[in-house]
Amino acid sequence: MIFAVRSFFAGLLVLAAMGAANAAQTITWETLSPEAGAPVFISPNAERRGNVGVEMFGGSKSDFEYFLQDMELMRQLQPAGGFLNTRLDGQEVRIAGYVTPVGFDDESVDELLFVPFLGACIHVPPPEANQIIHVSNAKGVTLQNVWEPMWLSGRLRAKPVATILADVGYRMENAVAVPYDGDGTDLGGIVDAYDGDGAGWGADTQTD
């Protein structure tokens, strides 16, 4: 009986999350990058979110140190500046993109960056801060689907945060991720090469 009651309420929570996702306003990455607005500001001394540790490299301190050096180089290549769309602060939105993990809890991803391109912040330099969303404890993200395109829905906050991989312009609360089912026009594509200086990061850097 207790199991049946728990299953019933768990089902209600899933349906509620799906209903919220359906009611959310669908936005694009361009929406997050207005030509004017509140500037992105993060203190150079801000604590950086993320919990990638040496255990993820088989205990190899040298591999872990190389990783940290690479990530610091990526951060230095991130374009500075940009503005935040504060009109979306507190709004329920839905946006298509990719996951870049920055925190793990055993076998799950408990902290991530949501980005326009697959590989952003790891294989290629981060886009501008207003093209990244920081998320904690998103429902629907697993190690098995972390590289797949997704719809991310939740309450958007125009509150910058520093992470180990990049400076971030937005956060999302109560986030729910589901597999992407669009026609591809919402996505930035897959970036598998980079030969620029980070300036003008956007649609013209993508590859098909």
- Full-model pTM: 0.76
Count of CB atoms situated within 10 Å of the CB of 151: 20
Domain of 94 in residue numbering reads as: 2-205
Is residue 190 within 8 A of residue 148, CB to CB? The reply is: no
Q: What is the pLDDT of residues 133-183, one digit of tens each?
A: 999 999 999 888 888 999 999 999 999 999 999 999 999 999 999 999 988
Q: For residue 205, what pLDDT band results from cuts at 50, 70 and 90?
A: very low
Q: What is the pLDDT of residues 90-103, one digit of tens each?
A: 999 999 999 998 88
As for how many domains the chain has, the answer is 1
* E strand spans, 27-146: 38-39, 83-84, 92-105, 108-115, 133-136
What are the φ/ψ torsions at residue 102 (nearest 5 degrees)? -130, 0
Q: What is the pLDDT of residues 79-127, one digit of tens each?
A: 998 999 999 999 999 999 999 988 877 667 889 999 999 888 888 899 9
Alpha-carbon distance of 150 to 172, in angstroms, equals: 15
Is residue 178 within 8 A of residue 141, CB to CB? The reply is: no
CATH number of the domain residue 64 falls in: 2.40.50.870
Closest CA to 75 of 162, 136, 134, 135: 162
Query: Does residue 69 register a pLDDT over 80?
Result: yes
Query: Does residue 6 register a pLDDT over 90?
Result: no
